[in-house]
Amino acid sequence: MATTEYNTGFDDAQSVNNSPRDNFIYKDISLYFTRNPVTSDVTIVTDIQDIKRAVRHIVLLNPGEKPFHPEIGTGVRAALFQNFTAPIKALLSSRIQEQLRKYESRIEVTNVSINDNLDNNEMSCKIEFNIRNAPQQTEEVDIFLQRIR
């Protein structure tokens, strides 16, 4: 019995891999649902962009907002209605670190800094993290929250 070997011209998963760090690539659909001009399909978000979007999503969730998982959420939006004191900032920072440690296993958080503007009820949160597959590369996500009413 003869075996047929197919040669695609690519080794392993290099044909779809845009990342130099690993053969596995993180992919998700774009939440803007824009159309890919080549394939006419929904555009995809890959690697760092996907991870940053997941981090932002976890931080902005309030406890109880995710169906069937009331434990997920940091409650940073509720903090806009409180006085920003050092203990509140420390509590928010530890909540963010804990939630990301539990629910985003692709990263390791290195620093969370929270700055406030008391006069305008604004808060900015800067999260620095390393991706577990590429620990030498530090990424950051900046989240700006402002009370509207």
The interaxial angle of helices 47-60 and 86-103, nearest 10 deg, is 130
Domains of the chain: which residue ranges?
A: 27-146
CB 93 within 8 A of CB 104: no
Is domain 27-146 classified as CATH 3.10.450.40?
yes
Query: Which structure tokens are listed for 56?
Result: 């932002």
Please compute the mean of the pLDDT values over residues 63-74 and round it to a whole number.
91
Report DSSP state, residue 23. S
* Integer CA distances (angstroms), 28 to 4, 46, 50, 87, in order: 34, 7, 7, 37
pLDDT tens readout for residues 17-68: 454 555 566 777 777 788 888 888 888 877 788 889 899 999 999 999 999 9
Tell me how far apart the alpha carbons of residues 77 and 57 are, in angstroms, rounded to a whole number. 12
